[in-house]
Homo-oligomer: A and B are copies of this chain.
Amino acid sequence: MTAPASSEAPIRVAVLGPDGRMGAQTVRAVEAAADMELVATVGSGDSLSAVTDAKATVVIDFTRPDAVMDNLRFAVDAGLHAVVGTTGFDDERIATLSGWLAGKPDLGVLIAPNFALGAVLAMRFAQQAARFYDAAEVIELHHNRKADAPSGTAAHTARLIALARADAGRGPAADATTSGIEGARGADVDDVRVHSVRLPGLVAHEEILFGAEGETLTIRHDSLDRVSFMPGVLLGVRTVGSRPGLTVGLENVLDL
């Protein structure tokens, strides 16, 4: 999303983990954003004091699970907002972080497992559509080096659809299959079928299909490059300061 035209001072941003693939991309994105200034980068082994020395107001963390909690402890203590793409947040870590934030009513932290706006929108639309359709299935298509099937995003999407169906009083979709070859009908994720295609030449694609008598609705997201995560990261930086407390999931920032 384009930065809103503004005469305000740019947001002072520090990037933690600038040498990883996501971090390096983020450095370039912050440098290119008219409403932000990259004031510090902190690589592995560097001192976090560079962040406060540079008077950053927002930190972006694309480091590693074993470093991120120390980084966040530092940011919260220093009164800095944080946008976090590092993985490894379980319930315990979420609780710990919430505890730290309890005493800082003005501070915002955004943790997002997925910064791809398109993936987040696709999931949200899937949730919205689910109750209107008799049945739904998910197809995800990835390059043939991927180790897990289905993808985490597709499994998560299927679970969101299952929840939305349950909320609307819908049970599992009818399935008339009585004979066939094992696996043809895909993986069963909370009664929603998920199919995983693996081919060289593909990157990362998800297709969510809904059906009712006489019509189908399809939502498809094609992700070709991690540069596509940057609008989500920048949106997080722009909004984290006005959203105090802990926010988990970019979808909560989109104001849909």
Q: Is A218 an interface residue (CB 8 A)?
A: yes
Chain B residues with Cβ below 8 Å from A201 are 211-216, 222, 224, 228
Chain B residues with Cβ below 8 Å from A149 are 177, 179-181, 184-185
Copies of this chain in its oligomeric complex: 4
Q: Are B193 and A197 in contact (CB under 8 A)?
A: yes
Min CB–CB distance A80 → chain B (angstroms): 26
Per the CB 8 Å criterion, the residue count for chain A at the interface is: 85
Q: Are B188 and A186 in contact (CB under 8 A)?
A: no
Cross-chain contact of A225 among B145, B179, B213, B220 (Cβ < 8 A) = B213
Q: Is A139 an interface residue (CB 8 A)?
A: yes
Min CB–CB distance A151 → chain B (angstroms): 9
Interface residues of A in 221-238 (CB under 8 A from B): 221-231
Q: How far, in whole Å, are A184 and B137 apart by their CA atoms in the complex?
A: 12
Q: Are B155 and A181 in contact (CB under 8 A)?
A: yes
Residues of A within 8 A of B (CB): 1-2, 4-5, 116-118, 121-122, 124-125, 128-129, 131-132, 134-137, 139, 141, 144-150, 155, 168-170, 173-189, 193-203, 209-231, 254, 256
Q: Are A150 and B180 in contact (CB under 8 A)?
A: yes
Cross-chain contact of A184 among B1, B177, B178, B187 (Cβ < 8 A) = B187
Given A1-B132, A182-B187, A186-B184, check contact A224 B198 (CB 8 Å).
no
Chain B residues with Cβ below 8 Å from A125 are 121, 125, 128-129, 219
Looking at A4, A116, A200, A256, the one whose CB has the most chain B CB atoms below 10 A away is A200
Given A181-B155, A186-B186, check contact A211 B202 (CB 8 Å).
yes
Q: Which 10 A-B pairs have the closest CB atoms?
A: A199-B211, A214-B228, A214-B225, A215-B228, A201-B211, A181-B187, A184-B187, A149-B180, A149-B184, A195-B195
Min CB–CB distance A149 → chain B (angstroms): 4
Q: How far, in whole Å, are A145 and B177 apart by their CA atoms in the complex?
A: 8
Q: Are B222 and A220 in contact (CB under 8 A)?
A: no
